[in-house]
Chains A and B, each alone.
Chain A
Amino acid sequence: MGEEYKIQVFDAETQNLLKTALKEPSSVDLEKVANVIVEQSLRDATFSREAGKMCYTIIQAEGKESGRSVFRSALLNRLQVEYRNREEMRARSVQEWVCYVSFICNIFDYLRINNMPMLALVNPVYDCLFQLAQPESLQREEEVDCLVLQLHKVGEQLEKMNAQRMDELFSLLRDSFLLQGGLGSLAQLLLLEMIEYRAAGWKMTDAAQKYYYSEVSD
Chain B
Amino acid sequence: MYRQRESRTDKHRSAPPTRWSQGRKRRSDGHFRRLNDEEETVFDKEMPSENCVQRPDRLTSRHSFPTSFTTPEGHKPVSRCKDWGSAVEEEEVLMETIERDMASYRRKLHLNECVSRERRSSSGSSDSKDSSIHGEIETDMETLTRRQKQINYGKNTISYDRYLQAVPRHKRQQGAHPRTPNKFKKYSRRSWDQQIRIWRIALHEWDPPKDEAGDDLQPFCEEMSCSASETASADTLLAGTPTKVRKVESEGGFDLNACLNNDADPEFA
Contacts and interface: CB of A to CB of B under 8 A. Distances in A.
B66 A120 contact: no
A165 interface: yes
Interface residues of B, number: 25
A60 to B, nearest CB: 14
Contact of A123 (B67, B83, B88): B67
Interface string B38-82: 000000000000000000000000111011100000011100010
Nearest to B64: A119
Contacts of B29: none
Interface in B63-110: 63-64, 66-68, 75-77, 81, 83-89, 91-92, 95, 99
B85 A73 contact: yes
B130 interface: no
| Most central of B67, B68, B75, B83 by chain A CB within 10 Å | B75
B4 to A, nearest CB: 24
A124 B62 CA distance: 13
Given A79-B84, A127-B76, A168-B75, A73 B64 contact: no
| Most central of B84, B99, B141, B142 by chain A CB within 10 Å | B84
Contact of A164 (B67, B77, B85, B91): B67
Given A76-B84, A113-B92, A120 B62 contact: yes
Given A69-B89, A114-B141, A165 B67 contact: yes
A162 B91 contact: no
A149 interface: no
Contact of B86 (A73, A124, A162): A73
A contact face: mostly helix, strand, loop, or mixed: helix
Nearest to A119: B64
Interface residues of A, number: 29
A94 to B, nearest CB: 21
A37 to B, nearest CB: 15
A161 B85 CA distance: 19
A176 to B, nearest CB: 15
A113 B83 contact: no
A164 B66 contact: yes
Nearest to A84: B79
Given A76-B83, A120-B63, A127 B91 contact: no
Given A116-B141, A123-B77, A127-B77, A80 B66 contact: no
Interface string A90-124: 00000000000000000000000111101111111
Contacts, number: 78
A197 interface: no
Nearest to A168: B75
Given A114-B141, A126-B75, A127-B76, A121 B84 contact: yes
A168 B58 CA distance: 30
A165 B95 contact: no
A151 interface: no
Contacts of B88: 69, 72-73, 76, 113, 118, 120
B91 A118 contact: yes
Contacts of A120: 62-64, 81, 84, 87-88, 91
Contact of B85 (A76, A122, A123, A160): A76
Contacts of A168: 75
Nearest to A34: B85
A165 B91 contact: no
A113 B91 contact: yes
A216 B91 CA distance: 43
Interface string A64-95: 00000100111111011000000000000000
B64 A165 contact: no
A118 B142 CA distance: 11
A162 B67 contact: yes
B95 A113 contact: yes
A74 B92 contact: no
A170 interface: no
B91 A119 contact: yes
B142 A130 contact: no
A159 to B, nearest CB: 12
Interface string A115-148: 1101111111011001000000000000000000
Contacts of A126: 67, 75
A80 B84 contact: yes
Closest 9 pairs between A and B when the two form their complex, measured CB to CB: A73-B85, A120-B87, A76-B84, A119-B64, A114-B95, A76-B85, A123-B77, A80-B84, A77-B85
Interface of A: 69, 72-77, 79-80, 113-116, 118-124, 126-127, 130, 160-162, 164-165, 168
